């Protein structure tokens, strides 16, 4: 049957379709990761690229699942250190060298096991190795499940900013096992919730209200095992799927998913990645919503409601005044969303709808207005 979060299978999993692949969401879904990977890629060699902290929990399950589904295939495991600071060209180079040394050919499939850093990095390895091999995404963080693993963006960071070197490379499949959230530190869980809130802001006022009400419960110490997460993740994926399907290469409407990310990425960079991605995005969304009200784009009260929802998830929403506003402003200039030297922002019109700006879905903002909200 079809639900608010995609179709439901006989196993009780939710499946959301994107252009060319499907996202499977459920409890215990990693047990079927091998079957899904084998059905979608038929590789001779599966290389799991896993976060070193995640691998002890789940790598053996994935290996066993792959061995059962593809008994003739070669299996290998490459570990990467955790943390955004390791999502670099140097580590990309090291991983591709390891693949070459192992004899991996064009009949190789990369299996990304971990959070958004691993998904972006392993996806970029897959996009560029032998001019492109398949990747199967197995996200183990809330952020990766609702955002990083879906949509086909891959890349690495540079000293100038996040994700400035990368490629569009959609996965062959995504398998999100909600049970993996049980081993996620609560700080990571809360950071991931920022992207959940974002999906409500940009596309679905009813979903936002639901998320707003559930935030205290789902981001509590025991929240990771809450049954509501299956529905929450499925609806977030469905929202992103609809946006990506309409604009796969981010030439128009897909820009709405950048809400909070222009200032958020800049704050994350200036923090030296001491702030988690979702923590920086929570601050970025609050500030950009205030910017939208200042410019007369958003309805009054929009920023306050976004701020309240994020605070209900125990996320900070105020600009960290230990950072220099002008340094943050300067960091936005290297953002991928800059056009013709002007920095563009995707801004909300109200909860559940973004400002279309004559089909551009973003608007150039003056330095004076940005500095005013940074305060």
Q: What are phi and psi of 9, to 5 degrees?
A: -90, 175
Stated length of the chain:
375
- State the Cα–Cα distance between residues 168 and 353, nearest whole angstrom: 26
Point out the residues that are catalytic. Answer: 131, 153, 195, 240, 250, 254, 258, 261, 265, 277
Dihedral angle over CA of 353, 355, 360, 362, nearest 10: -110
Hey, what are 302's tokens? 């929009």
Query: Could you count the other beta carbons within 10 Å of the beta carbon of residue 366?
Result: 11
Beta strands at 45-51 and 108-114: parallel, antiparallel or unpaired: parallel
Residues contacting 291, CB < 8 A, separation 6+: 345, 347, 365, 369, 370, 373
Alpha-carbon dihedral sign for residues 96, 99, 105, 109: negative
Do 230 and 26 meet the contact criterion of CB atoms below 8 Å apart? Answer: yes
End-to-end CA distance of the chain: 50
Q: State the Rg of the chain over Cα.
A: 20
- State the Cα–Cα distance between residues 297 and 313, nearest whole angstrom: 26
Hey, what are 287's tokens? 């500030």
Q: What are phi and psi of 161, to 5 degrees?
A: 165, 180
């Amino acid at each position: 049957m079809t639900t608010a979060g995609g179709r439901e299978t006989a196993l009780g999993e939710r499946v959301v379709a994107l252009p060319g692949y499907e996202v499977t969401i459920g409890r215990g879904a990693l047990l079927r990761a091998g079957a899904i990977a084998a059905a979608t890629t038929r590789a001779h060699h599966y290389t799991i690229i896993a976060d070193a902290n995640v691998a002890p929990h789940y790598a053996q399950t994935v290996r066993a699942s792959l061995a059962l589904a593809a008994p003739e295939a070669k299996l290998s495991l490459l570990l990467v250190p955790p943390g955004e600071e390791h999502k670099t060209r140097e580590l990309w180079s090291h991983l591709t060298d390891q693949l070459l040394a192992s004899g991996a050919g064009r009949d190789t499939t990369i299996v990304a096991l971990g959070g958004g850093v691993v998904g972006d990095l392993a996806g970029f390895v897959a996009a560029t190795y032998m001019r492109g091999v398949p990747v199967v995404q197995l996200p183990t963080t809330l952020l990766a499940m609702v955002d990083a693993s879906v949509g086909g963006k891959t890349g690495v960071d540079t000293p100038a900013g996040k994700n400035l070197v990368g490629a569009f490379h959609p996965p062959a499949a995504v398998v999100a096992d909600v049970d993996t959230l049980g081993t996620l530190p609560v700080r990571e869980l809360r950071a991931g919730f920022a992207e959940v809130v974002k999906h409500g802001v940009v596309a679905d006022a009813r979903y936002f209200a639901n998320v707003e009400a559930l935030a205290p419960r789902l981001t509590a110490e025991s929240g990771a095992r809450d049954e509501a997460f299956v529905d929450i993740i499925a609806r977030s994926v469905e929202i992103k799927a609809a946006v990506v399907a309409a604009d796969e290469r981010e030439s128009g409407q897909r820009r709405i998913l950048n809400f909070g990310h222009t200032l958020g990425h800049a704050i994350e960079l200036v923090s030296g990645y001491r702030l988690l991605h979702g923590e920086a995005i929570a601050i970025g969304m609050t500030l950009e919503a205030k910017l939208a009200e200042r410019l007369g784009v958003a309805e009054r009260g929009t920023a306050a409601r976004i701020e309240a929802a994020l605070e209900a998830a125990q996320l900070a929403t105020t600009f960290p005044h230990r950072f220099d506003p002008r340094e943050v402003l300067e960091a936005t200039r290297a953002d991928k969303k800059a056009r013709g030297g002007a920095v563009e922002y995707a801004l909300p019109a109200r909860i559940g709808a973004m400002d279309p700006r004559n089909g551009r879905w973003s608007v150039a903002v003056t330095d004076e207005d940005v500095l005013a909200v940074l305060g």
